[in-house]
Structure 1
Amino acid sequence: MQELKIINEDNAEIIASHCYLADSFFTRFKGLLGRRQMSEGEGLLIKPCSSVHTLGMKMIIDVVFLSSDYQVLHIIEEMQPGKLSPVIKKSSSVLELPPGQVGRSGLKIGHRLRSISLDK
C-alpha cells in the first residue's frame, strides 16, 4: 500500500504522518478490519469512498469525508464500532484517523488537505 503524509493546508498541521492509501477493491474492503487500535499519526485514506461502516471493528475512529480536491465535507468524531455513516454524496474519499485526532489537529469542515507521498 502506498504511504502518505496528510497535511492541513489551512493551518499547516500534520493530520497523519503515516497514512496508507486503500484504493484497490481488496484494500478498501479490508480497511481497518481486524485492527485493535490505530497509533497516533496513523491514518487510512479510502478512495473512492462516500460512506463507511465500523461493523466488525473493535475500535473507535475519527472519520473525515473529502471532496475530489481534498476539501473537508463532513466529519464524524469518535465513530463507535458497529455503526454506519451517512452517505456523503460529494465525497470522493474518506480519511480514517485515531479517535481524537480531529480535535487535536483543529480540523474543520471547509479546510483543505494535501497528501504527500512517502514512497521512495
Structure 2
Amino acid sequence: MATFTTPGTPEPVPLEMAESARARRRGLLGRDGIEGALLMSPASAVHTLGMRFAIDVAYLDRTLRVVAVRTMNPGRVGLPRPRARHVLEARAGAMARWGVRRGVRITVRDR
C-alpha cells in the first residue's frame, strides 16, 4: 500500500490506488468506511450513488495539485472538473485534517 502527504499532513496517510477501470467503477461502493484515502486515476468525476457514508473528494490535476475539494453525501452525482486528471476520496472531514485544500500538491510514495 502506498501513502501520501501534503505540507500540512502530520504523518503519511495510507493510500489505496484504483488504476483499473473496474477498480475506479467500484471506488468506495459497498464499504462502511476507509482507513486513509483512495486515489482514482485517471478520473475527473465521481458519484456517491449506493454509498453508505459521506466522502470528501479532492480533484487533482496532472501534477497532483488540488484543483477543488468538496464533500459529497450519499446519492449524489458530481460534475466532471475540466482540469482534473485524478480523484482522491476519503471519509468526510478527512481532507481538512490532512491539509488537502485547493492549490496544495500531494506527494505519493510507495511503502
> TM-score scaled by structure 2?
0.92
Residue 97 (str. 1) matches residue 97 (str. 2): no
For structure 1, the 5+ residue unaligned runs are: none
CA distance in 1, matches of 2:69, 2:49: 18
Counterpart position of 2:5: 7
TM-score (norm 1): 0.85
Identity of aligned residues (%): 31
Shift of 1:106: 2.8
Q: CA RMSD in A?
A: 1.5
> Taking structure 1 as reference, are residues 31 and 90 closer, same or farther at Cα in structure 2, changes over 3 Å only?
same
> Which runs of 5 or more residues in structure 2 are unaligned?
none
Cα–Cα, structure 1 residues 38 and 15, in superposed 2: closer, same or farther, change >3 Å? Answer: farther
**Contact 1:19 1:45 (C-alpha < 8 Å) held by counterparts:** yes
Whether the 8 Å CA contact 1:6–1:17 is kept in 2: the answer is: yes
Q: Who is 1:47 aligned against? A: 41
Give the letter for the 1:23 counterpart. Answer: E
1:23-34 alignment, distance < 5 Å: 23-34=19-30
Secondary structure of the residue aligned to 1:85 is coil
